[in-house]
Structure 1
Amino acid sequence: MPIPLCLDLLLMLMVVLAATNDLLSRRIPNTLLLAGMLGAVTLHLFSNFPADSLLRALAGAATGLLVFLPLYCVRGMAAGDVKLMAATGFFITPMEVLQLAVLSVCAGGVMALVVVVAQGRLGTATANVSHLLRSIWMRLAGVPLAPEPMPAPSVGSIPYGLAIASGTLLLLVQRHG
């Protein structure tokens, strides 16, 4: 079996297991991510150009880490989600990592909207988002603002591993037609 196909199959397995675990326990195990990354590195070592392949894998992992790290820093995402995105970078190119980030954010947004509507908390979520956007726009306009509390507590969180897995599977479907 060709190495690129092996990489894609291992990536699919890793993200599906991560999403399943995230749904069941709201955690993504480090051992799963480490096993996936070690598997990817091993496959890259057996490619026709191992040095180039490994450098591309490291660039993909760094891209995945840097794309979602700011969200973790503002408590918008859990560390496991950031590590999952970095781990997927070992399998795909940095440009595909950026595509995956967009697909994952879209999937996560749809998931969040479904959860908020199902819980009947759309008004609260809208008030919180309006508050955040107002603060951002005011700061961009140069208006100094004192920190203000959110109008309401957070309306909850979603298992973002599922959004990343959905984006990854869509990316792979697009790649293979």
Structure 2
Amino acid sequence: MKHTLSVLVEDEAGVLSRISSLFARRGFNIESLAVGPAEKSGISRITMVVPGDDRVIEQLIKQLYKLINVLKVQNVTEVPCVERELMLLKVNATSSTRSEIVELSQIFRARVVDVAEDSVTLEVVGDPGKMVAIVQVLQKFGLKEIARTGKIALTRESGVNTELLKSLEAKVS
């Protein structure tokens, strides 16, 4: 199972290196990693997606707390969250396929950010499932390049679990 961890750290040199070294020593892979400033000056939020069962993740969290500069670690996998990812996607485009690509991208609320003679570059923002879906749809045109940020997540203060609402909605339909 994939787990999403939100880690607050002091914004100092070497923090990310110590965290990645911890994972490497334990033989764990980080599937997605996003780092940026948090709500307070001098603090950064690291959001990472890590594969493993509950017992393994619990051990990793304990190990993270032992590192210098780690302030808070939260497993937000089962917590109602707002999750987003950013992807830039360069798609092969000819004059005859360009309009179809733009039309399909609008379904996913993707923005065209560059047009060249033989390609279109799109900006896509959304949950990780949306990223997979648009890549599958545009695959037939040929993908030149993809750059993804990795997942970022914040817990929902409202406590509303949109995944639960989606599953209930699907059952009603």
Q: TM-score, normalised by structure 1?
A: 0.28
Counting helix residues as a fraction of each chain, which structure ranks higher? 1
Bigger relative contact order, structure 1 or 2 (CA pairs below 8 A, ≥6 apart): 1
Q: TM-score, normalised by structure 2?
A: 0.28
Counting strand residues as a fraction of each chain, which structure ranks higher? 2
